[in-house]
């Protein structure tokens, strides 16, 4: 089928909940993708930060095949080796105590919220379940995580939402203090706001929040669904901010393209969720966990994360040096970068890049978001940058 035929079927039979690009992707290798028509694209999106090892990574594909031929699914009523192995790699490297495995970012955040509320209920009783989140955040699309998301336009239509969320301004400790109260059990935040516009929090602010949490006995909940698993140049972004979360979620990049998400708990929350409190039929599926082991082995290998930092720095420098009337600046961490756009809608710029052969994302109101595969080569970066230079002039 060609792109138009695929698009026609989709438009007839699929709910049109996405503003899809007018293009089908047929296959790829690394950071290069091809349409069914054979047109070549450089990928600065990695499927929204999911394909951490790029497209069609051989070790990843082999692990998936091998595991599918052993046992593809058995449920959480039994132990499997990839599941236990993945947890044993992830937990110590993250400096945490235990993991729970589910399937997506929103589900991971739901589990983190449940953990915080149960912890507080067991210690303090009822009436202390409110979680403070930040303006401009994004935490998912379930009824609860929509409400946790600090953007008003996500709080329409689907009433009633889950109660117990208040919002504070990012990088503003006074705003957080103003939102505090006896009903609060936790603060939840992304360290680089992703969908909200690639806005990194200030290190001082994050450390002050951690201090305030310690003073008030609030839990520090970090949503690393987008920032986690090497994206910012460390396994988790909190490792660069010098804070230790009580619970941290991950999802997008963990299994390199298969659906997988989960959360990690520190000592305080180590035993909060017990048998029967939480679960997931597909969670920790052995095929996805085997894929996750390959991703972790790759990114935790000597020098890999330093290279992510170097590649991010290289991208920043090259983009900062572009003489474009449309670029206002570049921000972010590692290979999670936001380019400020002026004089054109960010989506229009994204469309022009696509036409010229580069896949990019948008974020917030005026930001072009770049999330290339962590394994992207210098040559692939240069090809993508050349397209940007041409289009942005
Ligand atoms: C993508 C994202 C989510 C939601 O993840 P899903 O897998 O789409 O449910 C939650 N939080 C952050 C920070 C994200 O970037």
Task: List pLDDT tens digits, range 97-148.
Answer: 999 999 999 999 999 999 999 999 999 999 999 999 999 999 999 999 999 9
- Identify the pLDDT of residue 219: 99
Q: How far apart, in whole angstroms, are the C-alpha atoms of residue 77 and residue 56?
A: 31
Per-residue model confidence as pLDDT tens digits over 77-98: 999 999 999 999 999 999 999 9
In short, whether 106's Cβ falls inside 6 Å of ligand 1 is yes
Interval between CA 195 and ligand 1 midpoint (Å)? 9
- In angstroms, how far is CA 190 from the centroid of its own chain? 9
Would you say the pTM of this structure is higher than 0.85? Answer: yes
Per-residue model confidence as pLDDT tens digits over 326-337: 999 999 999 999
Phi, psi (rounded to 5 degrees) for 78 = -135, 160
Q: Could you tell me which of 203, 139, 206 has the C-alpha nearest to residue 176?
A: 206
Task: Select from 17, 103, 138 the residue to mutate for testing ligand 1; criterion: most ligand atoms less than 8 Å from CB.
Answer: 138
Q: How far apart, in whole angstroms, are the C-alpha atoms of residue 169 and residue 179?
A: 10
Interval between CA 191 and ligand 1 midpoint (Å)? 13
Contacts of residue 279, defined as CB under 8 A and 6 or more positions apart, other chains included, come to 76
- The token pair that represents 188 in the structure block: 């939840």
DSSP at 248: E
Per-residue model confidence as pLDDT tens digits over 56-65: 999 999 999 9
Task: Select from 49, 140, 362 the residue to mutate for testing ligand 1; criterion: most ligand atoms less than 8 Å from CB.
Answer: 140
| Structural contact between residues 130 and 165, judged by C-beta atoms closer than 8 angstroms | yes
In short, whether 104's Cβ falls inside 6 Å of ligand 1 is yes
The strands making up 261-265's β-sheet, listed across from edge to edge, are: 98-102, 261-265, 247-250, 219-223, 184-189, 130-134, 165-168
| Structural contact between residues 342 and 328, judged by C-beta atoms closer than 8 angstroms | yes
| Structural contact between residues 102 and 262, judged by C-beta atoms closer than 8 angstroms | yes
């Amino acid at each position: 089928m060609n792109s138009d035929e695929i698009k026609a079927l989709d438009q007839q039979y699929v709910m049109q909940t996405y503003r899809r690009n007018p293009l089908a992707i047929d296959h790829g290798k690394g950071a290069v993708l091809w349409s069914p028509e054979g047109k070549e694209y450089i990928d600065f999106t990695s499927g929204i930060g999911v394909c951490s090892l790029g497209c069609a990574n051989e070790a990843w594909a082999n692990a998936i095949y091998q595991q599918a031929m052993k046992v593809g699914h058995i449920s959480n009523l039994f132990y499997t080796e990839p599941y236990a192995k993945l947890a044993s790699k992830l937990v110590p490297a993250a400096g945490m105590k235990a993991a729970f495995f589910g399937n997506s970012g929103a589900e991971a955040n739901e589990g983190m919220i449940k953990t915080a509320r149960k912890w507080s209920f067991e210690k303090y009783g009822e009436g202390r379940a409110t979680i403070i989140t930040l303006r401009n955040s994004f935490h998912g699309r379930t009824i609860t995580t929509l409400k946790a998301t600090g953007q008003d336009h996500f709080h329409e239509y689907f009433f009633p939402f889950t109660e117990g969320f208040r919002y504070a301004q990012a990088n503003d400790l006074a705003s957080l203090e103003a939102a505090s109260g006896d009903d609060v059990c936790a603060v939840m935040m992304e360290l680089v706001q992703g969908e909200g516009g690639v806005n990194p929090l200030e290190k001082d602010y994050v450390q002050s929040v951690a201090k305030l949490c310690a003073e008030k006995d609030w839990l520090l909940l970090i949503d690393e669904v987008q920032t986690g698993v090497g994206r910012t140049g460390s396994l988790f972004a909190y490792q660069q901010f010098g804070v230790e979360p009580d619970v941290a979620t991950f999802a997008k990049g963990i299994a390199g393209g298969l659906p997988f998400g989960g959360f990690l708990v520190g000592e305080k929350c180590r035993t909060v969720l017990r048998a029967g409190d939480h679960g997931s039929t597909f969670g920790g599926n052995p095929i996805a966990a085997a894929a996750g082991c390959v991703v972790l082995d790759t990114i935790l290998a000597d020098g890999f994360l330093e290279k992510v930092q170097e590649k991010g720095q290289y991208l920043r420098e090259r983009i900062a040096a572009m003489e474009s009337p449309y670029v206002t600046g570049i921000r972010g961490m590692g290979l999670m970068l936001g380019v400020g756009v002026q004089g054109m809608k960010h989506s229009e710029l994204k469309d022009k890049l696509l036409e010229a052969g580069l896949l990019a994302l948008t974020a917030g109101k005026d930001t072009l978001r770049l999330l290339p595969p962590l394994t992207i080569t210098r040559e692939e970066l240069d090809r993508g940058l050349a397209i940007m230079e041409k289009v942005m002039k």
